[in-house]
């Protein structure tokens, strides 16, 4: 039981970190444009 709770908390922390980083990235529009250009050039 405790291990399942620990896994859920870890998953929630990872999701929160990813969402936080994506929010911070959108505060810098030039970073988003640069990232999009890099993805497009790889295709």
Q: Average per-residue pLDDT in the chain? A: 91
Higher-pLDDT residue of 25, 13: 13
How confident is the model over 3-23, as pLDDT tens digits?
889 999 999 999 999 999 888
- Answer for the pair 26, 32: CB distance below 8 angstroms, yes or no: yes
How many Å apart are CA 38 and CA 17, to the nearest integer?
23
pLDDT at 2: 85
Do residues 25 and 32 touch, judged by C-beta distance below 8 A?
A: yes
Q: Is the confidence at residue 41, as pLDDT, over 90?
A: yes
Question: Which residue ranges make up each domain of the chain?
Answer: 2-42
pTM of the predicted structure, to 2 decimals? 0.60
Dihedral angle sign, alpha carbons of residues 18, 23, 29, 30 = negative
| Average confidence (pLDDT) over 13-41 | 91
């Amino acid at each position: 039981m405790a291990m399942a709770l620990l896994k859920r908390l870890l998953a929630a922390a990872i999701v929160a970190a990813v969402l936080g980083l994506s929010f911070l990235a959108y505060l810098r529009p030039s970073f988003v444009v640069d990232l999009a250009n890099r993805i497009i050039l790889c295709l």
